[in-house]
Amino acid sequence: MDTTMIEFQVNGQAVTFAGDTNTPLLWALRDELKLTGTKFGCGIGQCGACTVHVDGRAQRSCMLPASAAAGRDIRTIEGLAGPEDDLHPVQQAWLELDVPQCGYCQAGQIMATVDFLSRVPKPSDEDIDAQHSNLCRCGTYVRIRAAIHRAAELLDESA
């Protein structure tokens, strides 16, 4: 067990993790930092329920060792809203279109969508199908696709 101290930023705040550096970042966030919005889904990086941003890019935190966070900027769903708790346009779209059914995967869906729209600001349905790979066990894909399009509109309006 390697217990080197790791320093990184989470949602704009400096943090230190002193546990096993091979611990998946997911568990460091949930168990040590008490940021439980990031969910455990499959543990093999396939479902995306654990999606967070690492230096602005979506990453599956169940597959990323805590050591990989050293010196990096991590953003979780808890840090997505603005400074006045203004919802991010993707969060606004999700609420507006009533996307969640059970809601379990939705934090990961939202985090993946924020990154996706930063790279593909006006996606087609084909873009979404090809690049948005998070899974939803409830099958709310029609609502997710509609919310991605709506979020793209909201982001365009705010630009």
pLDDT in tens, 37-87: 999 999 999 999 999 999 999 999 999 999 999 999 999 999 999 888 799
Residue 20 has pLDDT above 80, yes or no: yes
Structure confidence at residue 84 (pLDDT): 81
Structure confidence at residue 13 (pLDDT): 97
Structure confidence at residue 98 (pLDDT): 96
Residue 1 has pLDDT above 90, yes or no: no
List strands edge to edge, sheet with 13-17.
13-17, 6-10, 73-75, 51-54, 57-60
Residue 7 has pLDDT above 80, yes or no: yes
**CATH of region 6-79, choose from 2.40.50.100, 3.10.20.30, 3.40.430.10, 1.10.1060.10:** 3.10.20.30
Q: Label residue 122 by pLDDT band (50, 70, 90).
A: very high
89-158 shares the fold of 6-79: no
Q: What is the DSSP letter of 63?
A: S
Residue type, 91: Q
What is the chain's mean pLDDT, rounded? Answer: 95
* Domain range list for the chain: 6-79, 89-158
- In angstroms, the Cα distances linking 49 to 17, 45, 52, 136, 150 are 22, 9, 9, 9, 21
Structure confidence at residue 12 (pLDDT): 96
Structure confidence at residue 4 (pLDDT): 82
Full DSSP string of 115-142: HHHHH-SS--HHHHHHH-----TT--HH
89-158 is classed CATH 2.30.30.90: no
Alpha-carbon distance of 35 to 57, in angstroms, equals: 19
- Kindly state the average pLDDT of the residues 125-132: 96
- Kindly state the average pLDDT of the residues 104-126: 97
Alpha-carbon distance of 141 to 14, in angstroms, equals: 36
CB 43 within 8 A of CB 64: no
Question: Residue 9 forms beta bridges with which residues?
Answer: 14, 73
